[in-house]
Amino acid sequence: MVTFAGPKKRRSTVVAILETKGLSKTFGAVTAAADINVVINEGEIVGVIGSNGAGKTTFINMVTGYLKPSEGTILYRNRNITGLSPRQITRVGICRSFQIAQLFPELTALENMAIAFRLLENRRLGGFAPLLTEESVNRAIQELKEYGIEEYSDAVVATLPQGVRKLLDIAMALAGQPALLLLDEPTSGVAVDEKFALMDTVMKAVNRTGAATLFVEHDMEIIERYATRVIAFYDGSIIADAPTAEAMVNPDVKEYIIGAELHRQPEESLDNA
Amino acid sequence: MMLITDTTSRNLWIAMCVFLLMTFIIPNWLGFLTTVALAKGLVVLGLAMLMRTGLVSFGQGLYYCLGGYVVGIAGTQLGITDVIILLAITIISAIMISLLLGLLLCRYREIFFAMLTMAFSMILYGILVKSEVLGSTDGFNIEPASLMGWHPAIESLGTWVYMFTVVLTFLILQCIHRYFKSPLGFTGKAIRENEIRVEYLGISPKKVILLKYVIAAVLASVGGALTAMVAGHVDPEMAFWTTSGEFVFIALLGGITHVAAPIVGAIIFEIIRTFAFDLAPYSWQMILGAALLLIIFFLPNGLWSLLPAQRNGGQL
């Protein structure tokens, strides 16, 4: 279990970092998400589970502005952020990683990291000062070290192993010191025996920044180990939202999700072998 | 990673001195050729900025022509011949038009961007061809340029324009070199590689593209203005799509990985063209075409890739 130090200063009145009210998304006749009501508090580590097509990624895409909700509102610290663009949401303090790592494939890992720092910190792009200075390079290397991937700093991203790309993707999301971090399947495509090491690294980094974190995951062992709370999606709706131990024994969760995941596992391990 | 010491800036100053010293030894025709090459090099430099962002403009002729005609009209209609004022008017008009068109263009990518830029440039061509006041397809002659009240003798005008062009080109190269190394310069390549990630780093790709488009337009208009000054004549051909295609040709020839590559490309292009024309007055385009084929086959990143790779002094 992860012990969380909490953000630097807690407010006396607890304001939810993220609150969604009646969030829905329909694509024509298909309802991808229906009436999603979620409250995420500062510093929480929330696992999101559900089988494929249950609405997990749709939810993340709506919160981060990639998709506009058909209905409902999204509040970030009581501020309505519904319908803002991804970059506005990023600037507000919500960052995300992607199921398929979204990087700059022809640049080196170090350049990716340096760009992430510079763009996230300096919205006006910092004029004519060079991007790669001794200071910015050292800082990027330092950050890659935190994720244990500094040996790849000069490698072009397109040549990197999947696990390294995933870590770099997450490192870039965290470079902006977000208050809320959304990780879309951080361990997908990563070999089974590397999953825990990857999550350990990620959680250490998350703790360092104190970001509230919401991660989508199919592996129940990972959910049990890292999440303090679980939100379970089924067919576009939330069927359970409870502390991890409680959610895991929820009959609906067991029937619709954990059962389905158990059937899914062997196939996946084969793919990763 | 070791930060490679960047000698580009120093080399550019040296090259500028060499070009200035050459003023006294090169024959007039070569001075003319070099001036035109440098002016075109500026246009291609702007195009290279767009190409590094993954956008090919087939319409830089629009601003090239705009620059030429602004200089021409200001001289003949308003009696303005001072190069500084002429360039200022050129740049302001280029910024205004490119902002307007850029707002639309920054929504498009790939072939749609290329075709739209070409369409806009052909619209200008169409207007100019129909404008009898501006000499229709023949164009018109330009008033000789002056500098701060000083009117050089007509015989030495070419030399002065050459020197002015050299200084201006290299000052611009210094700026663009810094720009390529800046976060904004890197963002171009980032957009080309992954626009979604750029959005999620809190930056609007559209705004970055708009800015690059405007800078490219300014460079093209300055190139056009300089060409008009040295050639003493403008015609609608400057906005015709083949002129824009020539800029793309030069970008491929020289490469876009380094700030000086478009300039080198432009100089070599002008040399090849001059000699090809001399050698085969009726089929010189074939020689150019063959040169382009060779480049695409053997040096897909342009002539610049012949130099030892060293990650181009902190550029991408």
pLDDT (tens digit per residue) in B4-31: 667 888 888 888 888 888 888 888 788 8
Q: Give the count of alpha carbons within 13 A of A45, CB side only.
A: 24
Size of interface A-B (CB pairs under 8 A): 101
Q: Give the count of alpha carbons within 13 A of B16, CB side only.
A: 18
* Closest by CA position to B233, among listed B153, B135, B148: B135
ipTM above 0.85, yes or no: no
Partners of A106 on chain B (C-beta within 8 Å) are 189, 193
B1: nearest CA partner in chain A: A154
List, for residues B123-178, the tens digit of each pLDDT value: 988 898 888 778 777 778 887 777 776 777 777 777 888 888 999 999 999 889 88
Residue A272 has pLDDT above 50, yes or no: no
Q: How confident is the model at residue B316 (pLDDT cuts 50, 70, 90)?
A: very low
Partners of A110 on chain B (C-beta within 8 Å) are 1
Q: For chain A, give the percent of residues with pLDDT over 70.
A: 87
B204 in reach of chain A (CB within 8 A): yes
Which tokens is A198 given?
A: 């990857």
Partners of A130 on chain B (C-beta within 8 Å) are 178, 181-182, 314
B137 in reach of chain A (CB within 8 A): no
B25 in reach of chain A (CB within 8 A): no
Q: Could you tell me the domains of chain A?
A: 17-93+179-273 (3.40.50.300), 103-177 (no CATH)
Main-chain phi, psi angles of A33, to 5 degrees: -150, 135
More confident residue, A205 or B209: B209
Phi-psi region of A125 (alpha: psi -120 to 50; beta: other; left: phi over 0): left
B200 in reach of chain A (CB within 8 A): yes
Q: Count H helices, E strands: chain A?
A: 10, 10
Which tokens is B202 given?
A: 């809190």
Chain centroid to CA B104:
22
- Domain extent listing, chain B: 26-239
Report the pLDDT value the prediction gives residue A103, as an integer from 0 to 100. 87
CB count, 10 Å around CB of B158?
19
Beta strands, E only, A157-249: 180-183, 212-216, 229-234, 237-243
CB count, 10 Å around CB of B284?
17
CB count, 10 Å around CB of B128?
22
Partners of A141 on chain B (C-beta within 8 Å) are 1
Q: For chain A, give the percent of residues with pLDDT over 90.
A: 0
**Strand B140-141 vs strand A212-216: parallel, antiparallel, or unpaired?**
unpaired
